[in-house]
Amino acid sequence: MAETIFKLSNCAFPVEGEQTCCTFAYSELSQSWVGTFSYNFDKYILKDDSSIYGMKNGNTYTLNEGTKISGQDVVAKVLTSIAPKQINDKEFLRIRVNSDYKPDEINFYTSFDQYESGDIKGVILKSQLKNYLGYEQYIPRRNDNGNRVQSRVLLYEIKHSDETEFTLVDVQVQYKLLS
C-alpha cells in the first residue's frame, strides 16, 4: 500500500480575466499548491471538522468524497515544469510518471501562454504509457509542426479522473542538451 503523500484541501481563487474560479489542491505535507480540480463553485464552506462543501445553483456538494459532481467526472490535474540547465536549449525525450496508477493523459507545452490558451503541443494517452518501474513513454513530436519538443523549459500537465485514488510520487524527464 502506497504511503499518503498529499492530504488535499481546497480553496477557490478567481482567474484573471474570467468570471469562473479554479479549485486548487493544497498539500499540507509540503505546504504548497500541488494541482487543480476541474470543478468550481460559487461559494465554499469549511466546517470546524475540516469538511468542505461547495455551493452552486442552489445545491450543496460535499468535496473530497467520490469522483463525480452532477454526473460528471472530477478531473484532478497537476501542472509543473522542468528547466534544467536553464541557459541551454534542450530536446526533451522521455517522461516517467511514478504513481500507483496510470494517469489518463499527459499534455505538453513549451510556454505558460500556450497552457493558458489550451494550445497543447503534444499528448500521451493512458493507453500509450508503458510500465517500466514507472509509467513512461517518449515525448511525442509537436502537434503544430511535427518537430521534436525543443526549448529551454517544458511544461507538462498530468490528468487523472477515474475512481482509483491517485498518488503521484514524482516525475522524471529525460533530455539532451543542444549545442
Hey, how many other C-beta atoms are within 10 angstroms of the C-beta on 90? 21
Q: Which amino acid is at 107?
A: N
| CB 34, CB 76: distance < 8 Å | no
| CB 92, CB 172: distance < 8 Å | no
Predicted confidence (pLDDT) per residue in 20-68, tens digit:
445 666 666 666 666 666 666 777 777 777 777 877 777 787 776 766 6
Residues of the chain with CATH 2.60.40: 77-177
Quickly state the pLDDT bin for 102 (edges 50, 70, 90).
Answer: very high
- 54: cell is 461547495
Quickly state the pLDDT bin for 93 (edges 50, 70, 90).
Answer: very high
CATH topology classification for 77-177: Immunoglobulin-like (2.60.40)
Q: Quick one: 18 exposed, middle or buried, by C-beta within 10 A (0-12, 13-18, 19+)?
A: exposed
Predicted confidence (pLDDT) per residue in 126-152, tens digit:
999 999 889 999 999 999 999 999 999
Q: Which amino acid is at 80?
A: T
* pLDDT of 123 strictly over 80: yes
pTM over 0.75: no
